[in-house]
Structure 1
Amino acid sequence: MNLRTRLATLYDMPALNRLVELAVRQLSAGYYTGPQIESALRHMFGIDSQLIADGTYYVAEMDGQLAGGGGWSRRQTLYGGDQSKAAADPLLDPARDAGRIRAFFVHPGWARRGVGRALIGVCEAAAGAAGFRSLALAATLPGEPLYGALGYAAGARSFIHFPDGEQLAIIQMHKTLT
């Protein structure tokens, strides 16, 4: 098993979008209902191409196959792909604001085998090098155990409400970088 991480490019977008659908449909089952999953795919889950343009989104490849994707951001948006952004996304101040962990998706065939952990490590190192002293994220229910195991403290629990009436439970999480 050979895990490699690298910066994502716009050429990765089609494969990443397929990965998102597969990961969300399979790994969210049992945590969310089918209608919640489909609504979240329509309205929220996806890749934010701004992360790729900023050079803060990574892919993980296992033996040459796409195993996952995830990134961090120096921008205000906490979650959501291109389909959920309608306004400018201002930059955060690393001296005052927490950077963001964003858009983590692991192929179901590679789940619980170190892919998410490796991507988080790359993101934390890069965000720290960019001057951020802490990171924040909005975890889904299936993602909460991973983030908790990596030192992210759970905060407020809330719901994201979608235009079709569905809603998705999330957990605000935070970590101080050392």
Structure 2
Amino acid sequence: MIRLATFKDIPTLQQLIAISVRGLSTGYYTANQIESALKYVFGVDTQLITDQTYYVFEKDGVIAGCGGWSKRNTLYGGDQHKEVEDPLLDPAKDAARIRAFFVRPDYARQGIGKQIMQHCEQAAYNNGFRSMELGATLPGVPLYEVMGYRAVENIDAKMPDSEILQIVKMRREL
């Protein structure tokens, strides 16, 4: 079941994000990159909860996955990654953002990410957006490619501890 995330979900979401990144990023990133990304990049973006564009997927009484879309400029990262107010996008000319997708490893490859993606794309479309962009981590690229997203730019995100996280900017027309 997909539902809107609430501020009460944040502690559970922070745990889910850490479990997801540590469990699904092995083989794509080094242990140092994973821990650095958890410290400096990955986390809940509370603006998405405030905007009511962030969702959780509950299965068997467990929050098994989360993800959202945004009408704001930020491409990726949680609260700790942003330093300024996040300006609104113009649906007439800008692409909405797919943001902060994480699935518990024990629920991976069961269609949870795909269902949340479809929910987000429909919501963005209903809000006037006709294209989507996202900053994909390397383990997420195969899912997004299956969903019709194409790579448009490779980004080497340098973190404060000098670790580099490879991100793939991807785009899809709705």
Could you say which TM-score interval applies, normalised by the shorter chain?
Answer: over 0.9
Q: 1:23: which partner in 2?
A: 20
Q: 1:55: which partner in 2?
A: 52
Percent identity of the aligned residues? 57
Q: TM-score, normalised by structure 1?
A: 0.97
Letter matched to residue 151 of structure 1: G
Q: Secondary structure at the match of 2:139?
A: coil
Instruction: State the Cα distance separating 1:158 from its structure 2 match.
Output: 1.9
Q: What root-mean-square deviation, in Å, do the aligned CA atoms of Structure 1 and Structure 2 show?
A: 0.5
5+ residue gaps, structure 1: none
Q: 1:88: which partner in 2?
A: 85
Letter matched to residue 49 of structure 2: I
1:35-74 CA-to-partner distances (Å, cap 9, x unmatched) read 0000000000011000000000000011221110000000
The whole-number CA distance in structure 1 between the counterparts of 2:106 and 2:58 is 12
Question: Is 1:168 the equivalent of 2:165?
Answer: yes
The structure 2 residue matched to 1:141, chosen from 134, 138, 159, is: 138
Q: Secondary structure at the match of 2:97?
A: strand
The whole-number CA distance in structure 2 between the counterparts of 1:38 and 1:93 is 35
Instruction: State the Cα distance separating 1:103 from its structure 2 match.
Output: 0.2
The whole-number CA distance in structure 2 between the counterparts of 1:7 and 1:154 is 28
Letter matched to residue 146 of structure 1: L
The whole-number CA distance in structure 2 between the counterparts of 1:125 and 1:78 is 19
Count of matched residue pairs: 174
Matches within 5 A, 1:125-140: 125-140=122-137
Instruction: State the Cα distance separating 1:143 from its structure 2 match.
Output: 0.2
